[in-house]
A and B are shown apart, each in its own frame.
Chain A
């Protein structure tokens, strides 16, 4: 029971990082300026590294090796939230997604520092710097563009309004919440969501961007249970294309 609950937590976190890391890596070579191209690509690599670390924990618990888990599953077996799999579109959307997702991420790992599942609490400490930088990067961009020009404010506002229902999908309730909470492995998605809302509000307050009332937003759920949008399978096909030519090859 405890093991199932822990695995479910690890899978959804790892899948989030892998899928969003891949999406963000699609900007490599196309970033709005060279420095940002480097920063965004580097953060995408951080996310892949974090997903690898989580898949390794799962492997130690008896799951298949990281490469197999990452490249050989069909979309229905992925537990990432739908938000992470949406195509990039324009940079304003990627920035808003980066801001909303990474705010949840830094808070989630802050909570996990206290986890009784020691390997996970150790990982949470190890990646502090990466999470801090991602959060700093996201907030600085949102503050900058969120109060710069009419166009930048309008673009961010549209992406924000579009993204919020998906962002709330990050906090889809797990069937194992109760076990995770009583075993002090993870305090739960609701606690995380409330902290996240405060954090998002705090940054947006310093900009011209407006948040609709939270209760008016209908969350997009399903990803955690494997019910994905039509965008995930093509992403997986592309991501695993080379790996599947020869799954036994050594890199």
Chain B
């Protein structure tokens, strides 16, 4: 495709020959999980691009927790999360999980996340021990299926996670007087109303 329009030039022309370029121009993604306060479970917050796990932690902290209260945060590479099929209609996602052939490896810990409402975040439900992600899914079905509908189940190997260390807990200790970060601090609406009232009364 030979066009003078830079937008057209950006389109991938031939995926195979562009592989190298694509690898250089796009970092992998990492999923970000946030705990709003120590009494609440971790919840999925979004994704960041980064060259590696440690960088993704640094990016995630400011991308997702710079405004609201947060007590802890962790990240894991998107590609390392096993997600179940998403359920349709009134199907329960747990019922779609099939029993895998029994693994022989050692037991590892997995974090299980459930999507309990469409359009909401997946929320941490607990841990299971399994020898593979597929087995973790199956064990989650045994352990967390209460019969109420869930829409999707995620399994994340605990060892793949970059956690916030105990020592890093004070990362969220910050100046409370930062209203200037919020749009509400700039009373543009009031001023506009005042201006309009004035000009209408002329």
Question: Do A and B bind?
Answer: yes
Q: Which residues on A are within 8 Å of B, measured CB to CB?
A: 33-36, 38-39, 42-43, 45-46, 48-50, 53, 125-130, 132-133, 136-137, 140-141, 144, 148, 251
B5 interfacial contact with A, CB 8 Å? no
Assess whether B27 is in contact with A33, with CB atoms less than 8 Å apart: yes
B66 interfacial contact with A, CB 8 Å? yes
Q: Which residues 13-63 in B have Cβ within 8 Å of A in the complex?
A: 27, 48-52, 54-55, 58-63
Contacts of A129 in B (CB 8 A): 170-174
Contacts of B177 in A (CB 8 A): 49, 53
Nearest-neighbour CB distance to chain B for A71, whole angstroms, equals 15
Additional A-B contact list (20), CB under 8 Å, known A33-B27, A132-B168, A136-B168: A35-B62, A39-B58, A39-B59, A42-B62, A45-B180, A45-B181, A46-B174, A49-B177, A49-B180, A53-B177, A126-B175, A128-B170, A129-B170, A129-B172, A130-B173, A130-B174, A136-B58, A141-B55, A141-B58, A144-B55
A contact face: mostly helix, strand, loop, or mixed: helix
Complex CA–CA separation, A140 to B168 (angstroms): 14
A-B contact pairs, 6 of them (CB 8 A): A50-B175, A128-B173, A130-B173, A132-B168, A141-B55, A141-B58
B186 interfacial contact with A, CB 8 Å? yes
Contacts of A42 in B (CB 8 A): 62, 66
Nearest-neighbour CB distance to chain B for A11, whole angstroms, equals 19
Contacts of A136 in B (CB 8 A): 58, 168, 171
B198 interfacial contact with A, CB 8 Å? no
Contacts of B168 in A (CB 8 A): 132, 136
Complex CA–CA separation, A125 to B175 (angstroms): 10
Q: Which residues on B are within 8 Å of A, measured CB to CB?
A: 27, 48-52, 54-55, 58-63, 66, 168, 170-178, 180-181, 186
Nearest-neighbour CB distance to chain B for A52, whole angstroms, equals 8
Assess whether A144 is in contact with B174, with CB atoms less than 8 Å apart: no
**Which of A53, A125, A137, A148 touches B58 (beta carbons < 8 Å)?**
A137
Complex CA–CA separation, A53 to B168 (angstroms): 24
A132, closest chain B residue (CB): B171
Given A34-B49, A144-B51, A144-B52 in contact, is the A133-B175 Cβ separation under 8 Å? no
Contacts of A148 in B (CB 8 A): 51
Nearest-neighbour CB distance to chain B for A210, whole angstroms, equals 23
Nearest-neighbour CB distance to chain B for A194, whole angstroms, equals 24
Assess whether A130 is in contact with B175, with CB atoms less than 8 Å apart: yes
Assess whether A38 is in contact with B63, with CB atoms less than 8 Å apart: yes
Nearest-neighbour CB distance to chain A for B46, whole angstroms, equals 10
Chain B CB within 10 A, most for which of A128, A129, A136, A148 = A129
Assess whether B173 is in contact with A140, with CB atoms less than 8 Å apart: no
**Which of B51, B62, B175, B181 touches A39 (beta carbons < 8 Å)?**
B62
A38, closest chain B residue (CB): B63
Contacts of A125 in B (CB 8 A): 173
B57, closest chain A residue (CB): A140
Contacts of B174 in A (CB 8 A): 46, 126-127, 129-130
Nearest-neighbour CB distance to chain A for B75, whole angstroms, equals 12
**Which of A39, A45, A53, A128 touches B63 (beta carbons < 8 Å)?**
A39
B178, closest chain A residue (CB): A49
Contacts of B61 in A (CB 8 A): 39, 133
Assess whether A35 is in contact with B173, with CB atoms less than 8 Å apart: no
Complex CA–CA separation, A49 to B179 (angstroms): 10
Complex CA–CA separation, A144 to B27 (angstroms): 14
Assess whether A43 is in contact with B62, with CB atoms less than 8 Å apart: yes
Nearest-neighbour CB distance to chain B for A157, whole angstroms, equals 19
Complex CA–CA separation, A136 to B164 (angstroms): 12
Complex CA–CA separation, A141 to B55 (angstroms): 7
Assess whether B173 is in contact with A126, with CB atoms less than 8 Å apart: yes
Assess whether B62 is in contact with A133, with CB atoms less than 8 Å apart: yes
Assess whether A35 is in contact with B49, with CB atoms less than 8 Å apart: yes
Contacts of B48 in A (CB 8 A): 35
A140, closest chain B residue (CB): B58
